[in-house]
Structure 1
Amino acid sequence: EPPPDAASTLPHVVRYLTNPWVATIGLGAVAAAVMSSVDSSILSASSMAGWNVYRPLWRPSANSRQLSTVIRRCIWIIGLAATLLALRVESVYELWFLCSDFVYCLLFPALVTALFDRKANAVGAAAGFVVALVLRFGGGDPILGLPVWLPYPMIEEGTVLFPFRTLAMLSGLLTIVVVSRLTQHWRPAVQLRPGE
């Protein structure tokens, strides 16, 4: 029987054209290669959540034991969210498009201001993230099955033709700039030192 799609060719060849013990080792190697990327992504996301969100915002005096506990919990949360997302999305290309969409709308404004605006601070970055998040998800998402709930212009058959992703990105960028300047006395910007 032929493989159902091109991505299944290697597992089919290994399974049907080799000895059972070679097939087991080969399929195990493919699974290990995939899992090494997955677990490193989950671990890095959890570490960033612990070191860059939990420690600076909630517990600046957190010791390594507390950070380790937070990172372990984040591994479970991110792993569960990734599993649910993988079960929901039908194509790797859809997942790639979704991730690049989120990076453009949510993370790009913070990156630009971190590099080019000396007055940008954490409060501005958080406010810009929230504004961009609301505007981005207000346009809905067919991949995640989210309906349009903000009244954007140019909506045809449930699809927003208005460039709401660019609006979300620019609004997030403007929010970071404005809120950072308004909260400069309360939370001054931290300058990066050379070599960081």
Structure 2
Amino acid sequence: MMEKCTKPCFHQRTLSASSSQTAQFTCYIAAAVIAILGVPPVLVGAVAASTDWNRTLYGSPPPYVRGEQSLVLPLTLQYLTPSYISVIGIGAVAAAVMSSTDSALLSAASVFSSNIYKNILRQQASDYEMQWVIRVTVAVVGVVGTSITFFTNSTLVLWILGADVSYTLIFPHLVSVLFSKVTNGYGALMGYIIGLTVRISLGERAVGLPVVLCLPGCILVDGVFIQKSPVRTISMLCTIIAIQVFSLLALAMFNHGLLPEKWDIFKVKNTITVSPTDAVTQNENDGARSDEENLTDYYCTAQMRTLW
């Protein structure tokens, strides 16, 4: 939960840093602070594990026997602390959860409305129309997010699921855009489709997804297939390979006339994506050449005036 609460704020701080050195220093400090902030949850879990719950109003058996280990924090606050501490603690947890929720809703709405709806679907959309798009997106994301919580009672499972999606789908696209010049919209789209299909086919016990595609080492236990291979890393590699293969395929087909140019909705014909690093270097070189040209023109003009 702490990770979900701090992630948007952390990215905001690093992206708004005055220099790359400041952003790096912020990351180093954050790594140390996160390690320190991880001590209280460990202590709460140790206290709950060593507590004789039969001597409390909760009674026996203990939470981990009842399958309520994900509720250790609220149970500890309710049965092992005074009432005012319990109210303050649960209120702090609720505030953190609401902070994460609104940041996630707003970030999802802004990404869809600005990056997808405005730039791809409807570029001439007015500000009033964008306001309604944001409102509808917030409502849809809220309903979908609430529906996902019906499948599990553990927030840790949802956090792991979010990290899984980030690693298998978002991370490959980020790497491809930064380090591959041939990456384009067609490869990115197929990467999402293939990566998501592979990840779902490999199954996920946490959310009840059955195993459809068995990898080497997959075993059958009590009628359920259990994967022993690194399914997340394999899905991530499949996504990267799909992005590169279909990006190259799209470039070849449009540039060699195998597909009509009117089908090129992402405008990749005769273009190669430039990574951000190359773009910065190119802008600096262009700026240097412009300065040299201006300086040369100045001296030439001065010499002409002198001769005149």
Q: Equivalent residue for 2:134? A: 71
How far apart, CA to CA, are the structure 1 residues paired with 2:243 and 2:80? 53
Q: Equivalent residue for 1:117? A: 180
Pick the aligned partner of 1:100 from 163, 166, 183.
163
Deviation at 1:29, TM superposition (A): 5.1
Is 2:104 the counterpart of 1:41? yes
Residues 47-86 of structure 1: pairs in structure 2 closer than 5 A:
47-86=110-149
Q: Equivalent residue for 1:168? A: 235
How far apart, CA to CA, are the structure 2 residues paired with 1:12 and 1:43? 36
How far apart, CA to CA, are the structure 2 residues paired with 1:162 and 1:173? 18
SS of equivalent residue, structure 1 residue 178: helix
SS of equivalent residue, structure 2 residue 207: coil
Higher relative contact order (CA 8 A, sep 6+): 1
* Contact 1:140–1:146, Cα closer than 8 Å, also in 2: yes
SS of equivalent residue, structure 1 residue 140: coil
How far apart, CA to CA, are the structure 1 residues paired with 2:111 and 2:126? 16
How far apart, CA to CA, are the structure 1 residues paired with 2:79 and 2:144? 30
Unaligned runs of 5+ in 1: none
* Contact 1:138–1:149, Cα closer than 8 Å, also in 2: yes
How far apart, CA to CA, are the structure 2 residues paired with 1:128 and 1:50? 22
TM-score by length of structure 1 reads 0.81
Q: 1:138-171 CA deviation, whole Å, 9 max, x = no partner?
A: 0111111111223544331211223333222112
Tell me how many residue pairs correspond in the alignment.
190
TM-score by length of structure 2 reads 0.54
* Residues 104 and 11 (structure 1), Cα distance of their counterparts in 2 relative to 1, 3 Å cut: same
* Residues 156 and 45 (structure 1), Cα distance of their counterparts in 2 relative to 1, 3 Å cut: same
SS of equivalent residue, structure 2 residue 181: coil
How far apart, CA to CA, are the structure 1 residues paired with 2:80 and 2:147? 29
Q: Equivalent residue for 2:285? A: none
Larger Rg computed on CA atoms: 2
* Contact 2:113–2:134, Cα closer than 8 Å, also in 1: yes
Q: Equivalent residue for 2:73? A: 7
How far apart, CA to CA, are the structure 2 residues paired with 1:44 and 1:11? 33
* Deviating more after overlay: 57-66 vs 39-48: 57-66
Identity of aligned residues (%): 34
Deviation at 1:65, TM superposition (A): 2.1
Unaligned runs of 5+ in 2: 1-55, 64-70, 255-263, 281-308
How far apart, CA to CA, are the structure 1 residues paired with 2:113 and 2:140? 12
Deviation at 1:7, TM superposition (A): 0.4
Pick the aligned partner of 1:130 from 163, 176, 193.
193
Q: One-letter code of the match for 2:115? A: N
SS of equivalent residue, structure 1 residue 18: helix
Q: 1:25-75 CA deviation, whole Å, 9 max, x = no partner?
A: 775554233212211111111211111222222112222222222221221
How far apart, CA to CA, are the structure 2 residues paired with 1:17 and 1:64? 49
* Contact 1:135–1:164, Cα closer than 8 Å, also in 2: no
